């Protein structure tokens, strides 16, 4: 009984101390919290990781081009290492054997996808295929791409488009050689890539119809913004900086122009489908047919269709990357 009374008195005194000296209690608790965090970190079986700095993590160890910096780090810390880019922990895989384990053996465990600020804006909350979270919707969207859009039969059907665009490029090169004019091969390859994508995906080339209906121009803006540095993605508490840098305004303006452009494209296809059933079907027609038939286990909305169409831009992403 006496021990119970002493315990009650001790608790009362402790409450008084906490009320009278809150800063002292906080000062005493901070080392305890630090020790608990260190102990928890030691219990985790994490891959090797180079020393990191507060807030920025390992960002200071990335140079240009970044893949060479990662190669140098992997030579020191092994084929599987953990880097922190701001608040984002990132697993770096640098060997074929480990990549096979990640992508094939444990593919479900590593199926998460980063949902960046730009991807969230352009893809209606990441309802496309590239940035969509793993789940039933992603499986159905992937099935559409594999069986309907990118099947061998469908790819062969658009072979004439690729041959036509490459022939036009060779002809332009020949004319330039005869005249002795300089040729920007990067720009020419990008134009060919955009034309092939536009004709296969949207049915025709959208150029010289105003800035809001220029597929190539919008594609380049989207890719530039997707590759732009975003404070919110790396340092969440500095998300307001994206407004000052103009990133938020750029995302909104480009997204509005892009979605207006895709709305017009879909309206054209719906009108053509109602009046002409014999025209060759492109990606837009396929998605509209699936939406009309309701053959999928998911509701394919207008936003879903536009988000999936945006994936076609990924075919030209490597051409924009300055990785050499």
| Dihedral of the alpha carbons of 99, 101, 103, 107, in degrees to the nearest 10 | -150
Domain boundaries, the chain: 47-110, 122-320
Angle between helices 302-310 and 247-275 (to 10 degrees): 110
**CA–CA dist 324, 316 (Å, integer):** 16
Q: Which residue has the higher pLDDT, 278 or 86?
A: 86
pLDDT value, residue 313:
58
What's the half-sphere exposure (Cβ side, CA atoms, 13 Å) at 268?
Answer: 15
pLDDT value, residue 14:
42
Q: What are the pLDDT digits (tens) for 118-176?
A: 888 888 888 877 788 888 888 888 888 888 777 888 888 888 888 999 999 999 999 88
Report residue 195 as tokens: 């034309």
Q: What are phi and psi of 89, to 5 degrees?
A: -75, 135
pLDDT value, residue 167:
93
CATH architecture, range 122-320 = Orthogonal Bundle (1.10)
């Amino acid at each position: 009984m006496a021990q119970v009374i002493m315990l009650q008195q001790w608790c009362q005194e402790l409450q008084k101390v906490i009320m009278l000296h809150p800063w002292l209690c906080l000062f005493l608790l901070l080392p305890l919290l630090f020790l608990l965090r260190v102990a928890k970190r030691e219990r985790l079986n994490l891959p090797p990781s180079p020393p990191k700095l507060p807030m920025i993590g390992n960002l200071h160890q990335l140079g240009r081009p970044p893949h060479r910096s990662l190669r140098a780090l992997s030579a020191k810390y092994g084929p599987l290492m953990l880097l922190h880019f701001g608040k984002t922990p990132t697993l770096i895989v640098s060997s074929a054997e480990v990549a096979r384990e990640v992508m094939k053996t444990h593919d479900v465990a590593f199926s998460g996808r980063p949902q960046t600020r730009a991807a969230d804006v352009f893809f209606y909350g990441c309802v496309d295929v590239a940035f969509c979270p793993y789940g039933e919707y992603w499986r159905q969207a992937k099935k559409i791409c594999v069986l309907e859009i990118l099947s061998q039969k469908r790819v062969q059907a658009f072979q004439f488009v690729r041959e036509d665009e490459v022939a036009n490029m060779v002809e332009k090169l020949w004319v330039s050689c005869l005249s002795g004019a300089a040729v920007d091969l990067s720009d020419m390859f990008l134009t060919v890539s955009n034309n092939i994508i536009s004709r296969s995906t949207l049915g025709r080339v959208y150029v010289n119809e105003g800035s809001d209906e220029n597929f190539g121009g919008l594609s380049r803006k989207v890719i530039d913004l997707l590759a732009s540095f975003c404070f919110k993605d790396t340092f969440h508490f500095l998300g307001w900086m994206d407004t000052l840098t103009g990133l938020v305004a750029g995302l909104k303006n480009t997204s509005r122009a892009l979605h207006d452009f895709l709305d017009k494209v879909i309206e054209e296809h719906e009108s053509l489908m109602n009046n002409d059933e014999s025209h060759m079907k492109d990606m837009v027609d396929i998605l509209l047919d699936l939406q009309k038939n309701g053959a999928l286990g998911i509701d394919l909305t207008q936003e879903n269709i536009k988000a999936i169409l945006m994936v076609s831009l990924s075919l030209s992403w490597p051409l924009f990357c300055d990785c050499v």
